Amino acid sequence: MTVQGDDQDIWLDFTLGVNQSAEVGVQTTPTSDKRRIRVRVPPGKLIPIIFFPGIMGSNLRLSKKRQAEIQREDNRSWRPDDKGDALKRRNASAAERQMRLDPDEVEVDHYEISYDKDKDRFESTGNATQTSDSRHDNVPDNLADVSKLLMSDPKLEKDHPLATGHEQHFSAAQKARARGWSEVMFGSYGKILMLMEKQLNDMLKADGANVEVSASWASKGNAQALVGRAPASFGNSDAPALAEADIKKIGDCWYPVHAFGYNWLKSNGDEAKDIGPRIQKLIDTYNQNGFDCPGVILVTHSMGGLLGRALIHPDYGNLKDKVLGVVHGVMPTTGAAAAYKRLRAGFEGSNKTWWHFLDRIQGGIVKGVLGDNGEEVTAVLANAPGGLELLPNKVYGSGWLKVQDKQGKDLIVPALPKEDPAAEIYLLEPQKWWRLINPEWIDPAKMGESGLKGADQVGPKATKRRIINAMEFSHAIQDTFHDETYAHFGEDPAQLAWNDIVWKVTDGNASAAGDPLSWTLLEGHKGDNAQGTIRVLSANGIPLTLELQPSNSAADGTVPVERSADKVRAKVKFRQTGYDHQGSYDNEGAQAATLYGVVKIANAYKSEWWDKKD
């Protein structure tokens, strides 16, 4: 660093602007200030990280039509970080849930900004009652600088001769919102977004000609530093630890972190078709702005993993050549039996009593808004292709739905399904007690009767078609995994999930009732209370009561390991404890596994690209 007289020169770094361009803000100084302004040359290489949230993890806004129909002052369909609004909706009727969470009448609540030279403020877009910044304040206005790529622009002092009050200035919060961070549930995902942004853009430090790995990665005094840290400490005893060479190889590169919200009510296949071009445009924009951007790395949560797999499938996103690799977190690889349970009996509470308060604020908001009973959940998910794609598919395996007597003896051998869950469970007629959908619960808002929708859009036939399509999608991507895949998931005895579904006879003589497949469900709430208790009548007239049994498989509270999470085809899988499904990315082990996967994926990209000089 050169010196001018007694004063050191001023050194500045480039940052990343809201339009994906490298920029640096320089403030002019008085002529008496003899220091030079020097700017460090930024890396030419750039690989965006794109994060996909899970179901209900993306903010949605209502169409103008639906907003008017439900007479809502604003167009918020779903914003989980607005805890007051979300918690109020725990008591919403099934009809209200159906109207506000209609896949055909919502879209992602994107953040857009425009600079108004006359008013010196950012204009409102997409909402008649709120500005973009206030609507997206789940990323708080006072967000501190996260990395050298995500920091507030410098502001001129008030008495500076060029300070006109009309200079263009973007805060770190606005830049994060422009990267999509406010499209997703920031309360669940903010930590991982900020951690990736900070860590991945602070890999190397230079001392003259000597380049070393930054302390945040290599410090011996930091238990969370990944260089040399045994992966056994975060879930895999066989994987090699990261080495300094791994970081040095990929450190001279920018890794801006983006979040992509999506309409989780629609099919993941359809969403992949829409998002694929957006990702391609992002890559093209970075390249047009002078960077060398070969593609992106995906990081997913839960259902976002199905979307990520659809993005690299040729019939959906067709983006395999532009995805360098994927890190999957708690993905329902082949579905989850919890989806069946929730359509029949609603969302369950936390597995830990002491966790209940926090669970209500985070995962509990998701559970409560979708519904505490089968009637409420069915009103949403029976009309939502995306939710139906979480049902167990053929690859989930056979025999996961059982019926037992009071002593725990299986009454159907072999258990259901034998081969096809759709034909043997999901599409059965209402009187079949083990069927999935109660047709009386599909349209509580009476959209069909009122003419808001036709029979091809709402009702039993429409739902059956959605189930068939959901299974076709699941089977289409069953073998679709990126060659560079890393995965982490929960296997915690304190966070149980349904590996299998068990209906148990709790009242009545099961041994005298004959074949359970001949039992008939009684009509109405007398037959099904929507909370996991049903009453049936055997062929010879014996009444029986059956109850859904609690989950009993160590997991993350939602996705079972054996039948689903562990079926991901990955180079490294991390089996972890200490978190529930929605809160997984708050866990240090899941965070470490994510950073580990991103580093390995970047290292695996073409050596000639890394060796190429900028």
DSSP code string of 421-466? HIIIIIT--TTBTT-S--GGGS-TT-HHHHTSS-TTTSSHHHHHHH
Write out the two tokens for 134.
């206030």
DSSP 468-485: HHHHHHHHHTTT---SSE
Q: Give the amino acid at 605.
A: Y
- pLDDT of amino acid 123: 31
- pLDDT of amino acid 325: 98
- pLDDT of amino acid 36: 65
pLDDT tens-digit profile of 547-587?
A: 999 999 999 999 999 999 999 999 999 999 999 999 999 99
pLDDT tens-digit profile of 206-240?
A: 776 788 999 999 998 888 899 999 999 999 999 99
- pLDDT of amino acid 351: 36
Cβ atoms of residues 197 and 149 within 8 Å: yes
Pairing of strands 60-62, 76-78: antiparallel
Cβ atoms of residues 27 and 156 within 8 Å: yes
- pLDDT of amino acid 16: 76
pLDDT tens-digit profile of 428-449?
A: 999 999 999 999 999 999 999 9
- pLDDT of amino acid 28: 60
pLDDT tens-digit profile of 192-212?
A: 999 999 999 999 987 767 889
Mean pLDDT by 10 residues, the chain (614 residues): 45 69 63 63 87 95 88 86 75 91 92 50 41 88 93 68 57 93 95 97 83 92 91 96 96 96 97 96 93 97 98 97 98 98 82 40 58 93 97 97 96 95 97 96 95 93 97 98 98 96 97 96 92 95 97 95 98 97 95 98 96 82
- pLDDT of amino acid 13: 64
Cα 462 versus chain centre, distance: 27
């996260």: which residue's tokens? 146
């990395």: which residue's tokens? 147
pTM: 0.91
Three-class SS state of 231: helix
d(CA 100, CA 98): 6
d(CA 467, CA 390): 10
Alpha helices by DSSP H, 41-138: 64-69, 83-88, 94-100, 132-135
Please give the DSSP secondary-structure letter assigned to residue 152: P
- pLDDT of amino acid 512: 95
